[in-house]
Each structure stands twice: as C-alpha cells, then as structure tokens.
Structure 1
Amino acid sequence: MELNNILKTYLYSIITIEFKDRESSISGFLLDYSEEWILLQYNPQDYIIDGYILIRNSNIDDIFREEPEDFTEKVIRLKGFIPGKLEKLPLTDTVSLIEALNNRFGIFSLYKKSETSTYPGRLLSIDQETLTLEWLDTKARWTEERVFKLKKIRVIEFNTDYLISLKIASENLYN
C-alpha cells in the first residue's frame, strides 16, 4: 500500500515507524503528514505522551499499527488524553517548517542518522541548503553555533518536557 494511503488510514491513531538504518523505532499519534515529513504526538515509552516529533519520510522501512500500539492508545485515552490538533505546520517546505518551529516554540532538537546524538537549540539562520543552530548544552547554556545540511536532518523534536525544561532553565538561571 502507498505511504499516503497508509498514513490516511492511521490518522489520530498511534503508529510505529521503523527505519532501514536505525535500531530503534519511533511511536506516537499520527497528526499530519506530507511527501517529506510525518508529524507525531510523541509516545517515547509506555503510556507517556511527550511533545511532538517530525520524521523525514526517507529511510522508513515500515509503518504499522498492531496490538501493542492499539493497547497503548487505549490506555493513554483512558487517562483522558485526546490527540492534539497542533496549529498547522508547513510540512511541505523544510525551511518554512523550521522557521515556524523556532518562532512558536523557541527551541527544538535535531537528529541526523545517529539515534544517540541530539542537537537542541534555536535557529540562527537558514537557507535552502543549511541551517545554523545556536546549540544549548545539557546545563541549559547557549554555547556554540552548529551548521547542518538540511537534507541530513532526519528527525526534529519539539515541545518535549526536556526541551521546555532546558529553555526555562536558560531563561531563568543565566539571565
């Protein structure tokens, strides 16, 4: 079945996405999608929803919803959770997407191919090829500029508890 048909079927349900070149999978409530990006309300483990995650459609091996996803969704909904309607993000244009995330949330985190390296920060500049991020370290200090090729960005997290905590700490502990 074509990717768009699969995604249309699973809208506002918990799905799991597996990759061709990563060990771990990603799960969450499917909120929106385009030819390039998939937006999930992130389910990092068990019965927890924590922020949002954008996944680039390249290198996806499988998207599915089976008994574990169905059960997890039932438990989360029993807690009163309803998948959020996030204000529309421009999923068809990566530059506009990243600018919108930076403007709305002030911080986001990038992942490239490695699932162990994350790059939290705020946007300094962006063009059609690269973005420059002001990196936020684990002690909530804005430390350095890092440049990324847009096509290398695989996953973007935003509005997670971790990122909100870093942002609050950076605004209140060092100013």
Structure 2
Amino acid sequence: MNTENLINKVVSITLKSKAYFQGIVIDISDDWCYLKYIPVDYMTDGYVIINKRYIAGIEITEEDQFKERILQLKGVISVKSPILALDDNEKLLADLQSKIGIIRVEIKDHHRAFIGKINSIRKHSFRVHLFSPGAVWLQLETFLYKEIRAIYFEEDYINSLKLILPPFLSDTE
C-alpha cells in the first residue's frame, strides 16, 4: 500500500507487541507515522506519533472506512493539524519542543509512559523534564529515539494536567 494514499484516511495499526492503534493519518516518514488519535468510536483525542520500528501492519478495514465517513461528516478530518518534521528525529523533537510543549512518551513497554516538557535534544536521544500524575515537576529523564514506541500530545489527559501544573522554574533543575 502506497503511504501517500493513506494521508487523511482512517487506519488501523497493529504493533509487534499486538497493541492496536486507530487514527487519521496526518503524515508518514521512513521512521514515524503521525496520526490524529481515535481511542474509541468516533472521537479523536489529540495526536500520536508512532515509531515505525514497532509497527507490524497498517490496514484500512471496513470499520475504518465507516468511521472515516462519519468523521468527514463531523468535519474532523479537515481540521488542520500541527505540521511536524518527521524526516529527522532532531527536527521532529525541536518542532514538538517549540510548537507543542508537553508530551507523553511511551517506551518499548506500553505499560510505562512519561509526561513532561522537552528539555534538550541530541543526535540519538532527548531529555524530558517529567511531571507526575499529580502535576508535580519531577526529574529529568533521557530517552533514546530507538526506544520510543509512541509520542502523544494535545490529548485530554495532558491538557487537563496542564491546567493545574505549577509554573516551570528552570530547565536545569
């Protein structure tokens, strides 16, 4: 399947771990798949960028086509999404840092996720100043690009915590 034909289509993505994503394709590169995330039914909740090294398959099912028709009628598919540079890890993270701010990082183990503000970007890794589920700033954590399974942003959970998150004092803490 030509990846260009997937843009603005609802797709189902199966990961090698058997986890499953559904979303509207915004963009695809050699390394990343950028979706408007559909967690359930006909609702979108932010965006997810999935590392293609963890993807086992991408398909368009009959259910996806049905959802796509509904989401088109709701005007969801035509909504502008943030433009991100997917072709280069450092540029992608720089875009997330400058345009988005707070992200949720999911590593190889999908049961562990980290939420925070991107602190610094390197050739093979990046650092995030984490905060807790109680919206308290924590320590800095380093993540290797190759270990990132998915990066979420502009989702309800993050946006809700941002409402009560205390001001960020310094990136050197």
TM-score using structure 2 length: 0.89
Q: For residue 139 of structure 1, what is the aligned residue in structure 2?
A: 134
SS of the residue 1:58 aligns to? helix
Does the 8 A contact of 1:56 with 1:155 survive in 2? yes
C-alpha distance in 2 between matches for 1:69 and 1:97: 28
Q: Which amino acid aligns with 1:128?
A: K
In structure 1, the residue matched to 2:160 is: 165
Amino acid at match of 2:72: R
In structure 1, the partner of 2:57 is 62
User: What is the TM-score when the length of structure 1 is the normalising length?
Assistant: 0.88
Residue 162 of structure 1 deviates from its aligned partner by: 1.0
Q: Which runs of 4+ in 1 moved over 6 A?
A: none
3-state SS of paired residue (2:53): coil
> How many matched pairs?
167
Where structure 1 has 5 or more consecutive residues not aligned to the other structure, the ranges are none
Give unmatched runs, 5+ long, in structure 2: 168-173
Corresponding residue of 1:9 = 5
Equivalent of 2:15 in 6, 13, 19 = 19
Aligned equivalent of 2:148: 153
- Cα contact 2:125–2:145 (8 A) shared by 1: yes
Kept after mapping to 2: 8 A contact 1:29/1:83? no
Partner of residue 37, structure 2? 42
Amino acid at match of 2:148: I
Is residue 84 from structure 1 mapped to residue 89 from structure 2 by the alignment?
no
Letter matched to residue 114 of structure 2:
Y
Separation in 1, partners of 2:77, 2:5: 18
Q: Partner residue of 2:103? A: 108
Deviation of 1:171 (Å) = 4.2
Q: CA RMSD, aligned part only? A: 1.6
The aligned counterpart of 1:128 is: 123
Instruction: Name the SS of the counterpart of 1:104 in structure 2.
Output: helix
CA shift for structure 1 position 59: 2.7
User: Sequence identity, in percent?
Assistant: 31
Does the 8 Å contact 1:123/1:131 carry over to 2?
yes
